[in-house]
Amino acid sequence: MKRFIAAAAVMVISSVCGISGAQATDPAAAKGPTGRCIFPSARTLGAVIAAEAQKMYLAQGYTQARVSARVVVKKPVITNLTKENVSGFTGVAPTAGTPAMLRITANAGGTPLELGCNAEAEITTTVALTDSAGVRSNGRSVTKVTVQGAFQ
């Protein structure tokens, strides 16, 4: 009785949803890998720029220099990845005699493989200076740069 009720429920739901029959579909074509170019060290780059700028201003004779730098990387676009995206990766081939075993050819001597990419970034710096006479000055600048990232 429970099986009959379950079968009836499936029939009612399928007719309400518009499912009239089942068909076998072609197997989906294999999609290649995709990746996004990520620049993981935006805060670190901002800290380095701020520290270098502060040293420069203090060396020029300013008594106080407050510098902040914010790096904003443009949202990465999804890219199809191929062998050409991997630096140092030469190829893949079956091993002679045992085709189920793969032989991967890569950089010789232990050089690492790289999945590098470039991304657009914007560096916004804010500077507040005080000179030896006590005069304060402020400034803000925006610079567009290209940063090297990695596919993720």
Tell me the residue range of the domain where 41 lies: 32-61+68-125
**Domain presence at residue 38:** yes
The rounded distance, in Å, linking the Cα atoms of 83 and 115 is 10
List the alpha helices (DSSP H) in the chain: 2-17, 42-59
Confidence of residue 90 (pLDDT cuts 50, 70, 90): confident
The rounded distance, in Å, linking the Cα atoms of 119 and 139 is 26
**Domain presence at residue 149:** no
**Domain presence at residue 54:** yes
The rounded distance, in Å, linking the Cα atoms of 64 and 54 is 9
**Domain presence at residue 16:** no
**Domain presence at residue 136:** no
Query: In the chain, what percentage of residues exceed pLDDT 70?
Result: 80
pLDDT tens-place string over residues 14-67: 454 445 545 555 556 678 899 998 898 999 999 999 999 999 999 999 999 999
Looking at the structure of the chain, the number of domains it has is 1
pLDDT tens-place string over residues 60-83: 999 999 999 999 998 888 889 988
List the alpha helices (DSSP H) in 18-137: 42-59
**Domain presence at residue 114:** yes
**Domain presence at residue 24:** no
**Domain presence at residue 14:** no
